[in-house]
Structure 1
Amino acid sequence: MPASALLDRIREKIMCLMAERREIGVNMMTPLTPEHEEKIVALQDESLDWEVLVASPTVFEVFSERSHMVDLEQQTCTCQRWRVYDFPCAHAISTIRKIKREAIDFISPYFTSDYFRKTYLHCIQPIPNYNRPVDIDEENTINPPIVKKQTGRLPGKRIISKHEKKVKRKVHCSNCKEAGHNRAGCRNPPKYTPPRSKLKKFISAKVTLL
């Protein structure tokens, strides 16, 4: 599948998902989302028989299997579940019930139905494809001709196209090293360079004498 088609399919799925959850949010009638409303009820049932001792207006000691300290002002419990999940634990729920307060007063607004509706308030706009080219079946696709490899040696130079300009190389003189002429048309006096073989013999003979 091409990358563009894959991205379009992902967009369609997210667009439908957001529309479904937007409809779910409209039908929510509780302060918290249904999932967290059920969680509050389960925590209340779990902590129903626990003993709660008051240390201060906001600090309590809760006796479950082990005793834990709950600070409602700091929203912490020594079991660390409140800090990890950002949602009151069973010990916190028991202290909230002790002071006859509502649990929603100590719950992050991100768990409320209002925030759920705000999350899916905006929709992903459709992207119509009426102005895109129609996909062609592979059977109707015109493929390039099959080119057979020619016998013989391949050309060494690249074939220059019709509108391509030829690159002209400047001539350099081997005598004076200047551009624009060669050694035959050079006006400078010729420079003598001894043959390479004689130069080697001369250098080797000089070294042996030393």
Structure 2
Amino acid sequence: MDIRHCTYGKDNTRKKQKKHCDCRLWMLRGIPCPHAICAYYYLNQDPDQHVEHWYKKETFLKVYNHFIQPIPNMMMWRETTNSSIEPPK
């Protein structure tokens, strides 16, 4: 892909800050579209640095950092003093 065909390349600074491209893929996915990647390579920048944080390895590891103990059956549930929830009439 050539930078001359990239709609992103027309106004790099403003669109790069807004993470916007005319094809809307970047806005919808949070991952730079081929037009933005082309422009980043033209500017000698790494497109991976512009991926949204929820797609990064650090965020994934932070989310799954805590271990949740499974409870195999209702016999192991703790007793509660709260009133029971009944289905609607």
Q: Same fold (TM over 0.5)?
A: yes
Identity of aligned residues (%): 26
Secondary structure (helix, strand or coil) at the match of 1:77 reads coil
CA RMSD between the two structures: 1.9
Give me the whole-angstrom Cα distance separating, in 2, the residues matched to 1:120 and 1:69. 35
Query: Could you tell me which residue of structure 2 aligns to residue 52 of structure 1?
Result: 3
CA contact 2:3–2:38 (8 Å) conserved in 1:
yes
Query: Could you tell me which residue of structure 2 aligns to residue 81 of structure 1?
Result: 25
The amino acid of 1:113's aligned partner reads K
Give me the whole-angstrom Cα distance separating, in 1, the residues matched to 2:3 and 2:72. 61
**Larger strand share, 1 or 2:** 1
In terms of Rg, which structure is larger? 1
Query: Could you tell me which residue of structure 1 aligns to residue 71 of structure 2?
Result: 127
Secondary structure (helix, strand or coil) at the match of 2:32 reads coil
TM-score computed with the length of structure 1 as normaliser: 0.30
Give me the whole-angstrom Cα distance separating, in 1, the residues matched to 2:70 and 2:33. 42
Quote the offset at 1:69 in angstroms: 3.2
Distance 1:127 1:81, change over 3 A: same
TM-score computed with the length of structure 2 as normaliser: 0.66
Larger RCO (CA within 8 A; separation ≥ 6): 2
CA contact 2:37–2:47 (8 Å) conserved in 1:
yes
Q: Which runs of 4+ in 1 moved over 3 A?
A: none
Match of 1:101 among 45, 52, 60: 45
Quote the offset at 1:118 in angstroms: 1.0
5+ long unaligned stretches in structure 1: 1-49, 54-62, 133-210
CA contact 2:3–2:42 (8 Å) conserved in 1:
yes
- Indicate yes or no: 2:61 matched with 1:117: yes
**Larger helix share, 1 or 2:** 2
* Number of corresponding residues: 69
Quote the offset at 1:128 in angstroms: 6.0
The amino acid of 2:61's aligned partner reads R
The amino acid of 2:17's aligned partner reads E
Match of 2:8 among 63, 66, 69: 69
Give me the whole-angstrom Cα distance separating, in 2, the residues matched to 1:123 and 1:101. 37
